[in-house]
């Protein structure tokens, strides 16, 4: 009798629980693990606040992925590189065009719903997407253009009047007055936490850059709620790591900004912020010391901005070794116990893994002695922190020998001589002689970042293996006798675009020769002020110098008297100058070292071992020989619970699906234009889609303007 009653009660309870689950729209497995529910949507940059690039959607499987077809396509009004990762909320996909027009489209058909930016200035920059916030019926899209942060009605695209002034604020409103008029933009979506949005900032990397404060703004009003000073005030923690204790008041040193984005542990209220290098890059004689809080992972109280813990990846950075992507929040296992962890990939090819709450490294990190400075006035730090495990996911310059010169290079002998003459030691300091950087300036990992199985502790990361050459020169800054436009070019432009204006196309810096045949003067003026792609803007250039520079670029410069030519030219603040971003390539512009030139890896952070590593991408210029060479790649992956990894990113323009357990390619599709962006996975009316932005342009590829979504037939 009691047994019968017990079975009856159990049946009733189970039936009631099932009805509740159906009403809530979740499966029993989701109820057992509520974390899984957040991985079934894509309403945040890179999928979720832990930046996992992860999905539990399972309609697309390893068995049927070969049946993927284009479900819809959307053409943006602007052609060019799109780095944006779309987000999807309530069946609406939100994204950003190559000229920073924000759009909302039907996520199941690709039909346009609204577009913000028709009647305003068209910008020439890149954006990695937008942020979403809601409270009840108040639904907002947060996006940036230049130094402005906009709040838009998510359903109509109209600016929200109560946010700042007319729906926008100036990001510099939370910065010191010294930032006024300086280059300040944001091209990575802000991190939403409660009613706050914490903004990444892209700043100048030269002398006089703005300070890289981490700022939280109120999503409703636009007011500044808290600020963390990455350049510390005198007498506060961190200031002791600068020879100049008043570094925050310096008119030369700045930055130490977060540009790559952040992750947030919503449950524990902790924000994880990777910070960039102090400016100016490459020569640090005016910023001696280890330079906190530059090149750090900061764990901040997300409500107040107070520091909980930090770790510095590069002391006194002279190589532009800023963390290139948001960290990943995931669980790892140690001695049978699950630990909340945070993992940060780096340009150097290392993965650093920490206890999320305490900052304790979960793999040993050793301070390794590195070479001393050779430039006058410079003091490189004596050691650098390198993790014992996992091993680097990219080759290091120290491993290169003459046997590593590319077998495809027709000028192999001259390349061997360059390699022989370059300093390839780890953390070799910048000097008047060439230093071989591998991984290069763009790193092993880049802004696409890593994907993670957040519950299983597996990290997936795509990597570049392109060596670059770092070299300094004496900064004579002698502009005497030169027209003002040429002097201005020498001051601001020559490092990237070279003295002959031919640029370095293989490094991403276009030729400016015959510029008048390709761009109007007004467009060039906008690019000079606001920047574009890799180029930062120069709003600080005085009007008279900017006008003279345009005359020089358009071959219209006329003779001026010497006194006028010297108007508003700055005194030398740095005895050395960086000689430019130069890739180590062969005569055909291909990497000068042997393949692979791009790779994909699965790293088990429970053990520090690699599950697999494979070449990533084909080099089409080599024809059949290009198979398995790997290519340079920009943009991240999406990984699924049921065993798939989706990624574009490669120069060859393919969209690929890997078996996440083995690294085997299960499907690939030639896109209309290369996709240097991270895809987004979502579901509408029970149908699973994956969408990716195809803009091309980077790495010399054809420009495009399409968003493609794929689904099963």
508: left (phi over 0), alpha (psi -120 to 50) or beta: left
CA 336, 338, 342, 345: dihedral to nearest 10 degrees? 40
Percent of the chain's residues with pLDDT above 90: 77
pLDDT band for position 657 (cuts 50, 70, 90): very high
State pLDDT tens for residues 566-612.
444 444 467 999 998 999 999 999 999 999 999 999 999 999 999 99
Range of the domain at 510: 476-571
> In this structure, what token pair is assigned to residue 320?
């532009």
Q: Kindly state whether residue 62 falls inside one of the protein's structural domains.
A: no
Task: Measure Cα distances from 695 to 100, 127, 129, 144, 672 in Å.
Answer: 13, 12, 14, 19, 9
- Average predicted confidence (pLDDT) for the chain: 90
Strand 450-453 versus strand 458-464 pairing type: antiparallel
State pLDDT tens for residues 237-257.
999 999 999 999 999 999 999
pLDDT attached to residue 398: 96
Measured CA to CA, the distance from residue 105 to residue 137 in angstroms comes to: 20
Q: Give the number of domains in the chain.
A: 1
Q: Which of 13-22, 459-468, 504-513 has the lowest mean pLDDT?
A: 13-22
Task: Measure Cα distances from 595 to 390, 443, 469, 533 in Å.
Answer: 22, 16, 18, 27
State pLDDT tens for residues 424-477.
999 999 999 999 999 999 999 999 999 999 999 999 999 999 999 999 999 887
Contact at 8 Å (CB) between 439 and 464? yes
Percent of the chain's residues with pLDDT above 70: 90
Q: Kindly state whether residue 634 falls inside one of the protein's structural domains.
A: no
Alpha carbon 468 to chain centroid, angstroms: 19
pLDDT attached to residue 8: 33
Tell me the pTM: 0.90
Q: Kindly state whether residue 311 falls inside one of the protein's structural domains.
A: no
Q: Kindly state whether residue 497 falls inside one of the protein's structural domains.
A: yes
pLDDT at 7 over 50: no
Contact at 8 Å (CB) between 70 and 709? yes
E-strand ranges in 154-267 read 168-170, 184-185, 191-193, 196-199, 202-203, 214-218, 224-228, 254-255, 263-265
Region 285-303: what's the mean pLDDT?
A: 98
Q: Kindly state whether residue 314 falls inside one of the protein's structural domains.
A: no
pLDDT attached to residue 293: 98
Q: Kindly state whether residue 271 falls inside one of the protein's structural domains.
A: no
H or E element that contains 331: strand 328-334
Residue 515 sits in a domain of what CATH number?
1.10.760.10
Q: Kindly state whether residue 551 falls inside one of the protein's structural domains.
A: yes
H or E element that contains 4: helix 2-24
Residue 461 burial by Cβ neighbours in a 10 Å radius (0-12, 13-18, 19+): buried
Q: Kindly state whether residue 114 falls inside one of the protein's structural domains.
A: no
């Amino acid at each position: 009798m009691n047994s019968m009653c017990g079975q009856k009660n159990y049946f009733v309870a189970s039936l009631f629980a099932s009805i509740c689950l159906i009403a809530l729209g979740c499966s029993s497995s989701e109820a057992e693990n509520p974390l899984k529910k957040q991985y079934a949507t894509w309403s945040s940059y890179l999928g979720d606040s832990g930046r996992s690039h992860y999905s539990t959607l399972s309609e697309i499987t390893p068995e049927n992925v070969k049946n993927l077809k284009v479900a819809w396509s959307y053409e943006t009004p602007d052609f060019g590189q799109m780095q944006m990762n779309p987000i999807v909320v309530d069946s609406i996909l939100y994204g950003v065009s190559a000229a920073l027009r924000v759009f909302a489209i039907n996520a199941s058909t690709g039909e346009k719903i609204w577009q913000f930016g028709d009647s305003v200035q068209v910008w020439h920059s890149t954006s990695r997407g937008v942020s979403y916030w809601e409270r009840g019926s108040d639904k907002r899209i947060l996006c940036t253009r230049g130094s402005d942060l906009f709040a838009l009605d998510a359903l109509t695209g109209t600016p929200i009047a109560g946010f700042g002034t007319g729906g926008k604020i100036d990001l510099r409103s939370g910065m010191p007055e010294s930032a006024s008029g300086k280059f300040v933009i944001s091209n990575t979506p802000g991190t939403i936490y409660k009613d706050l949005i914490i903004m990444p900032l892209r700043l100048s990397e030269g002398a006089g850059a703005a300070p890289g404060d981490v700022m939280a703004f109120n999503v409703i009003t636009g007011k500044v709620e808290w600020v963390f000073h990455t350049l510390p005030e005198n007498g506060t923690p961190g200031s002791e790591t600068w020879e100049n204790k008043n570094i925050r008041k310096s008119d030369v040193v700045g930055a130490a900004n977060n540009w790559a984005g952040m992750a947030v542990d919503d449950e524990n209220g902790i924000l994880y912020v990777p910070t960039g290098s102090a400016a100016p890059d490459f020569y640090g004689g005016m910023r001696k010391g280890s330079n906190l809080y530059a090149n750090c992972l900061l764990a901040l109280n997300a409500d107040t901005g107070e520091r909980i813990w930090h770790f510095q990846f590069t002391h006194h950075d002279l190589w532009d070794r800023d963390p290139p992507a948001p960290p990943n929040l995931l669980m790892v296992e140690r001695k049978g116990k699950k630990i909340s962890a945070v993992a940060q990939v780096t340009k150097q090819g290392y993965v650093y893994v920490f206890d999320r709450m305490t900052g304790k490294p979960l793999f040993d990190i050793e301070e390794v002695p590195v070479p001393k400075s050779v430039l006058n006035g410079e003091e490189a730090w004596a050691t650098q922190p390198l993790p014992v495990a996992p091993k680097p996911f990219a080759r290091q310059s120290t491993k290169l020998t003459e046997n590593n010169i590319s077998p495809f290079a027709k000028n192999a002998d001259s390349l061997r001589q360059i390699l022989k003459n370059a300093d390839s030691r780890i953390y070799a300091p910048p000097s008047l002689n060439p230093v071989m950087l591998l991984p290069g300036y763009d790193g092993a990992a880049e802004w696409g970042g890593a994907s993670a199985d957040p519950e299983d502790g597996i990290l997936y990361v795509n990597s570049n293996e392109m060596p670059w050459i770092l070299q300094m020169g004496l900064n004579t800054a002698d502009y005497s006798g030169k027209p003002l436009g040429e002097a201005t070019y020498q001051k601001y432009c020559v490092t990237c675009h070279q003295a002959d204006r031919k640029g370095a196309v293989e490094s991403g810096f276009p030729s400016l020769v015959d510029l008048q045949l390709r761009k109007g003067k007004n467009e060039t003026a906008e690019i000079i002020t606001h920047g574009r792609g890799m180029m930062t803007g120069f709003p600080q250039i005085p009007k008279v110098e900017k006008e003279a520079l345009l005359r020089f670029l358009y071959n219209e410069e006329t003779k001026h008297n010497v006194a006028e030519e010297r108007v508003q030219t700055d005194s030398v603040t740095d005895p050395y100058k960086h000689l430019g971003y130069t890739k180590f390539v062969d005569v055909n512009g291909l990497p000068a070292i042997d393949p692979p030139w791009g790779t994909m890896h699965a790293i088990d952070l429970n053990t520090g071992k690699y599950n697999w590593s494979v070449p990533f991408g084909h080099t089409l210029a080599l024809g059949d020989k290009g198979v398995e060479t790997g290519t340079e790649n920009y943009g991240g992956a999406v990984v699924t619970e049921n065993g798939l990894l989706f990624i574009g990113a490669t120069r060859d323009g393919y969209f690929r699906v890997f078996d996440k357990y083995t690294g085997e390619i299960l499907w690939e599709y030639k896109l209309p234009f290369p996709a240097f962006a991270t895809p987004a996975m979502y579901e509408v009316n029970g149908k699973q889609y994956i969408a990716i932005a195809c803009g091309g342009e980077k790495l010399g590829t054809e420009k495009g303007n399409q968003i493609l979504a794929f689904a099963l037939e």
